[in-house]
């Protein structure tokens, strides 16, 4: 039996992970499961998986959690330190599926253990790819991507020499506003933005998909994960999301990963790697696929893609600054304090003013945390100035 922990168990990725584990009850010994606000779900998961410990990041919800776990023998804990301490507990396999920068330190703690880090929290690579990769290298931790595009690329690269890779082609659905004119995009609501046409995901990543900030994050994630030159990474809009991404080699061959839009592909692959197991995904019926469409990205309506390339050119702490500005802007958009298009304008302005922070290597947690705080404040200052 393999020992495992699930960070962010109550979220969209977390619950999909839980469902696969519940279908394979004899394969895993579950150590920690964590959540934040959804205590009812966290307790239900902890009991169903017979976990050793359930942790909420929110101290005020500990009583509720303890009450629900009374008599089960499952320990309850709360707060950031408890989360980080559980992430430091060595297990064979742990998934980092907390949303946002809050997941970075958790990923780092898991990476020190020498087991397998299944990484859904792409923010970890965007903010601190160098530090995370180096931590994995030193401890011997295996890093496996749990993002559909990156799992697809990882699988296409299996047994290949990265030196023979000519291009990596990330597919993007284009989100709910793919064909919406720019002037209409200015007025969309969070509810409209959260309505993803193909994938069922958490609120924040769904809205990031509508603005294509998610794809921008994934471009940087690709560079960090596969150590590939920036100019070799391409994005193509593919509204059906049947091809999850592709790798092009120096002989002109393209390897594509295909299937229904179901994240259990990537989770299952990381969970059973290097083996494969059926996790109940629908099979593709090619006779029912009427067409596969592809088109170029429109960077006028989706400037996030251009910003990602600037971030990679700037290097150092630019990834942290970019992610933090994007997270801050998303909060402001959700609170209806800024419009949809304001997000990319503010993120761009913040990234372009990185000299005010003083860019340097993103090689310590301290530097990364300071850059994160600076960037969020910079966005708030810009909004305050424009409201004057
Ligand atoms: P969700 O919002 O659905 O879930 C987030 C999880 O993190 C929940 O368990 C939530 O707890 C917990 N959480 C929230 N805030 C904190 C905090 N401050 N400290 C600790 N835990 C916290 O997100 P997703 O599952 O959609 O995404 C998770 C990560 O995976 C993100 O980085 C996302 O970009 C990435 N990802 C997601 C994909 C998807 O299909 N959803 C695909 C590829 C990558 P609670 O719910 O109890 O409040
Ligand atoms: Mg993805």
304: CATH: 1.10.1740.10
Task: Collect residues with CB below 5 Å from ion ligand 2.
Answer: 147-149
User: Phi and psi of 283, rounded to 5°?
Assistant: -85, 145
Residue 197: per-residue pLDDT:
87
Segment 97-114 mean pLDDT: 98
Q: Which residue has the tokens 């924040």?
A: 204
Query: How large a percentage of the chain has pLDDT more than 90?
Result: 97
Mean pLDDT of the chain: 97
Looking at 84, 114, 145, which one is the last position of a domain?
Answer: 145
Q: Are strands 142-145 and 116-119 parallel, antiparallel or unpaired?
A: parallel
Please give the residue range of the domain that contains residue 98.
Answer: 2-145
* pTM for this model (two decimals): 0.98
pLDDT tens, 361-375?
999 999 999 999 999
Residue 173 has pLDDT above 90, yes or no: yes
Identify any residues that bridge with 170 across adjacent strands, giving them in sequence order. Answer: 235
Distance CA 36, CA 55 (A): 8
- Looking at 145, 168, 196, the residue that finishes a domain is 145
Q: Is the pLDDT of residue 198 over 90?
A: no
Q: Taking residues 35-48, what's their average pLDDT?
A: 98
| pLDDT for 326 | 98
**Paired sense of beta strands 243-249 and 165-172, if any:** antiparallel
The pLDDT value given to residue 387: 87
Q: pLDDT at residue 200 above 90?
A: no
pLDDT in tens, 78-93: 999 999 999 999 999 9
Strand partners, 94: 5, 117
* Predicted confidence band of residue 199 (pLDDT cuts 50, 70, 90): confident
Inside any domain, residue 18: yes
Mutate which of 7, 8, 46 for ligand 1? The one with the most ligand atoms within 8 Å of its CB, which is 8
Both 192 and 309 in one domain: the answer is yes
With cut-offs at 50, 70 and 90, classify the pLDDT of residue 382.
very high
Q: What is the mean pLDDT of residues 320-324?
A: 98
pLDDT at res. 158: 96
Three-state SS across 48-90?
HHCCCEEEECCHHHHHHHHHHHCCCCCEEEECHHHHHHHHHCC
The ligand placed nearest to the CA atom of residue 64 is 1
Q: Which residues contact 272 (CB under 8 A, 6 or more apart)?
A: none
Q: Which of 95, 117, 145 is the last residue of a domain?
A: 145
Residue 249 vs residues 80, 166, 232: alpha-carbon distances, Å: 44, 5, 11
| pLDDT recorded at residue 219 | 98
Ligand nearest to the CA of 84: 1
Domain count of the fold of the chain: 2
For ligand 1, say whether the CB of 14 is within 6 Å of any of its atoms. Answer: yes
Are residues 117 and 96 in contact, defined by beta-carbon separation less than 8 angstroms?
A: yes
Residues 356 and 232 in one domain: yes
- Percentage of the residues of the chain whose pLDDT score is greater than 70: 100
Q: Whose CA is nearest to atom 41 of ligand 1?
A: 201
Q: What CATH number is associated with residue 15?
A: 3.40.50.720
Predicted confidence band of residue 42 (pLDDT cuts 50, 70, 90): very high
Let me know whether 22 and 47 are in one domain: yes
Same domain flag for 294 and 227:
yes
Mark whether 205 and 326 lie in a shared domain.
yes
Based on the domain organization, do 162 and 221 belong to the same domain?
yes
What is the pLDDT at residue 388?
84
Q: Is residue 363 part of a domain?
A: yes
How many Å lie between the centroid of ligand 1 and the Cα of residue 97?
Answer: 5
Give the nearest ligand 1 atom to 7 CA: 9
């Amino acid at each position: 039996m393999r020992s495992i922990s699930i960070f962010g168990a109550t979220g969209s990725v977390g619950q999909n992970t839980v469902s696969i584990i519940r279908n394979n009850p004899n394969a895993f010994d579950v150590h920690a499961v964590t959540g934040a606000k959804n205590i009812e779900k966290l307790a239900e998961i902890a009991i169903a998986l017979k976990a050793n410990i359930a942790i909420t990041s929110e101290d005020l919800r500990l009583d509720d959690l303890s009450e629900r776990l009374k008599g089960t023998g499952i320990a309850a804990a709360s707060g950031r330190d408890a989360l980080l301490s559980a992430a430091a507990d060595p297990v064979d396999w742990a998934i980092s599926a907390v949303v946002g920068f809050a997941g970075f330190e958790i990923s780092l703690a898991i990476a020190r253990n020498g087991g397998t880090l299944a990484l859904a929290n792409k923010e970890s690579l965007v903010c601190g790819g160098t530090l995370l990769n180096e931590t994995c290298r030193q401890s011997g931790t295996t890093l496996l991507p749990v993002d559909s595009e990156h799992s697809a690329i990882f699988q296409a690269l299996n047994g290949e020499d990265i030196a023979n890779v000519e291009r990596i082609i990330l597919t993007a659905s284009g989100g709910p506003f793919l064909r919406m004119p720019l002037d209409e995009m200015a007025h969309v609501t969070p509810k409209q933005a959260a309505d993803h046409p193909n994938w069922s995901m958490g609120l924040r990543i769904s809205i990031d998909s509508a603005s294509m900030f998610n794809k921008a994050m994934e471009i940087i994630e690709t560079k960090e994960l596969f150590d590939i030159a920036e100019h070799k990474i391409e994005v193509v809009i593919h509204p059906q999301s049947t091809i999850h991404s592709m790798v092009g080699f120096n002989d002109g061959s393209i390897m594509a990963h295909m299937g229904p839009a179901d994240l259990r592909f990537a989770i299952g692959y990381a969970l059973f790697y290097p083996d494969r197991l059926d996790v109940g995904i629908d099979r593709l019926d090619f006779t029912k696929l009427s067409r596969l469409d592809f088109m170029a990205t429109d960077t006028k309506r989706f400037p996030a893609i251009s910003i990602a390339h600037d971030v990679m050119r700037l290097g150092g702490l630019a990834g942290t600054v970019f992610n933090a500005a994007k997270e801050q802007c998303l909060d402001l958009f959700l609170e209806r304090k800024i419009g949809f298009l304001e997000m990319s304008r503010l993120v761009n302005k913040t990234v372009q003013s990185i000299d005010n922070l003083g860019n340097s290597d993103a090689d310590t947690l301290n530097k990364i945390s300071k850059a994160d705080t600076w960037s969020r404040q910079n966005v708030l200052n810009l909004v305050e100035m424009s409201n004057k």
